[in-house]
Every structure is written in C-alpha cells, then in structure tokens.
Structure 1
Amino acid sequence: MTTEEKLQHFYEVSMESAREESEKALEEYRAALSQMLAEHKEDKQKNAGGQLKLETENAKREINKALSAEQLHIKRRLSKKQQELREELFVEVKNKLEAFMSSPEYLVWLEEKIREALTIAGEDEVQIYLTPADTSLLETLAARCGTPLLVSQTPFMGGVRAVIPAKNILIDHTFKTLYENEKEEFNFDGGLLHE
C-alpha cells in the first residue's frame, strides 16, 4: 500500500467514523428533541386540561350564580303575583259574603246557626249576638227561634256569635272570623299534585 492509498484509506475510515459519530450524535439529538417535544406536549396538555377544568368550573359557578339570581327574581315576581291574586280573591269573597247577607238565604242560615247554639246550650243560659249591621233582622229571628237575641257592640261582618257561660263555650259563626281564618291559612297550591 502506497502512502497515497494509506492516506485515502485513513481518510475514508476517518470520514466513516466521523459520519457514524455524527449520525449517532444527530440521532441522540433527535431522540432528545423528540423526548423534549413529548414532555412539552404533555406539560401543555396538563396545563390546558387544568386550565380547561378551571375555566369550566368558573363557567359553572357563573351559570349557577346567574341561575340563582334568576330563580330569586322569578320567586319574587311569583310571590308578588300571588299576593295580588290573593287580595283580588279575598275582595271577591268579601263581595260574595255581602251579597249573601242581602239574600233571603242569609236569614235561613242565621236561623240554623242560632238553633245549633240553642241545641248545644241545652237548658243552660245562652247569649246570642248579631252584628250591628243585622239589627233589622233581630225581631224576626228572635220570633222564629223563640229566644232573645242581642246586638254585639263589636261589628263582625255578619253571622252569629253565642256565649254559654255555664259551659264556658264560645260559638263563633261570624263571617269576620271565618274570613280572617281563611285569609290567614290560604295558600296557593299548584302543579301536578294540585290540579
């Protein structure tokens, strides 16, 4: 082998070795870059997932907050409307009571309630009161029922109030008491269970 051949051989071996080392280094660099890229993607996905979760939770909170505010607003409007309807209803009830008091049936009803009070009292003394507005019916009812009647000093819209002192009983068939009890206990029920 001549010197030139040796040099050529040395050159080829050196170049081959350099090429192999270069490729090995390049391969390691590519692997490192690939690993860094994978780690970077994983970190970004974790961060994006965390960010997405955080944004989702914030959005849910905002939606719930808006929902609660709207529900409260609806409840207030509903309550206000119910109150208006309740007032209208009880004005109508009062008007119907007044209409009933002007009818002949009212006299019959009063007579029934007076007779009930007399039955409960039995032989005991009973004081039966009419409201001042029913003073014109006093004599007629007293004659029909065969008992003296009194006019109450306190108006009670209509009806009868009876006191049996011996039995310590108050019989209250007054429209005022019935009206106020109904107004106090009245509740708007609705929905499938109450239709």
Structure 2
Amino acid sequence: MTLDEKLDQFYHAAIESATNQNIQIVEEYKKSLQEIYDEYKKEAERKADALYRGESEKLLQEKNRTLSTEAIKLKRKISDKSAELSEKLFMEASEKLKSFITSPDYFILLCNQIMGAVDYANGEDMTIYINPSDEGLKASLEEKTKTSLTISTRDFMGGIRAVIHGRNILIDNSFLTKLEELKSSYIIQ
C-alpha cells in the first residue's frame, strides 16, 4: 500500500470517526435538550395547573360570596313581605273582631266566657272584668249570667278577664291577648 493510499485510508477513517463522534455528540445534545424541554414542559404545566386551580378557587369563592349575598337579600325581602302580609292579616283580623263585637254573637260569647270563668272558680271569690267599650252590655250580662261584673280601666278590645283571688289565677280571654299570642306564634320562616 502506498503512502497516498494509507493517507487516504487514514483520512477516511479519521473523517468517519469524527463523523461518528459528531453524530454521537449531536445525539447526546438532542437527548440533553429533550430532557431540559421535558423538565421545562412539566414545570410549565405544573405552574399552569396551579394557576388554573387558584383562579378556579377564586371564582368559586366569588360565586359563593355572590350567592350568599343574594340569598341574604332574598331572605330579607321574604321577611319584609312576610311581616307586611302578617301585619295586613292581623289588621284585617282586628277589623273583623271590631265587626264581631257589634254582632249579637258577641253578647253570647261574653255570656259563655263569664259562665266558664264562674264554673272554673267553683264558688271561690273572683272579679270578672269586661272591656270599657262593653259598658253598655254590663247590665244585660249581669242579668243573664247572675254575676257581678267590673268595668276594666284598660282597653283589651273585648272578651273578659277574670281574677280568682284565692288561687292567684288570671283567666285572660281578652281579644287583645289572644291576638298578641297569635302574632307572637305566627312566624313565617
């Protein structure tokens, strides 16, 4: 083999070796870049996911806050409307009671309440009060029930109140008390 052939063979071997080393270096560099890219991609996805979750939670909290505020407003409106309707209902009831007081049935009711109180007292000392507006009915009621009545100094819309002194018992069949009891128990939720 001649020197030129040896040089040529050496040249080709060196070129081939350099090319193989170059290819290996490029492959290692590509592999290194791919690893850096994959790592960067994972980090970017993690950050994006964390940002997404954070923003989702903020939106959810804002939605819940808005819903809570609106629910409170609705409850307040319902409560106001309920109070308005309750007031209207009890005003109508008061008007019906005033109308009832002028009817003959009211006289019968008073007689029944008086007789019920007398029966409950069972002969014990008691005072039966009628409303000041019923002063005109006093004589008729006393005659009908054979019971002494006292005109109250306080207006209680109608009905009777009786005190059994020996047992410290108050029998309160007044319209005002009954209406107040209904108002306090009449709560719309």
TM-score over 0.5 for the pair = yes
1:10 aligns with 2:10: yes
Partner Cα distance (1:4, 1:98) in 2: 136
Partner Cα distance (2:16, 2:124) in 1: 134
Unaligned runs of 5+ in 1: 190-195
Partner Cα distance (1:100, 1:173) in 2: 15
1:145 aligns with 2:145: yes
Question: Structure 1 residue 148: deviation in Å?
Answer: 1.6
The residue identity in structure 2 corresponding to 1:167 is R
TM-score (norm 1): 0.93
Partner Cα distance (1:19, 1:101) in 2: 119
Task: Describe how 1:150-161 pairs up with structure 2 within 5 A.
Answer: 150-161=150-161
Deviation by residue 1:113-148 (Cα, 9 ceiling, x = unmatched): 000111112222221111011111111111110112
For the aligned residue pairs, the C-alpha RMSD in angstroms reads 1.1
Partner Cα distance (1:167, 1:120) in 2: 11
Deviation by residue 1:157-195 (Cα, 9 ceiling, x = unmatched): 000011121222211110011111111221115xxxxxx
The residue identity in structure 2 corresponding to 1:34 is Q
The residue identity in structure 2 corresponding to 1:113 is Q
TM-score (norm 2): 0.96
Higher relative contact order (CA 8 A, sep 6+): 2
- Equivalent residue, structure 2, for 1:131: 131
- Of 108-117 and 122-131, more deviation after overlay is shown by 122-131
Deviation by residue 1:48-82 (Cα, 9 ceiling, x = unmatched): 11111111111111111111111111111111111
Partner Cα distance (1:157, 1:26) in 2: 105
* Paired-residue identity, %: 37
Task: Describe how 1:1-195 pairs up with structure 2 within 5 A.
Answer: 1-189=1-189
Partner Cα distance (1:13, 1:168) in 2: 128
SS of match in other structure, 2:69: helix
The residue identity in structure 2 corresponding to 1:46 is R
SS of match in other structure, 1:187: coil
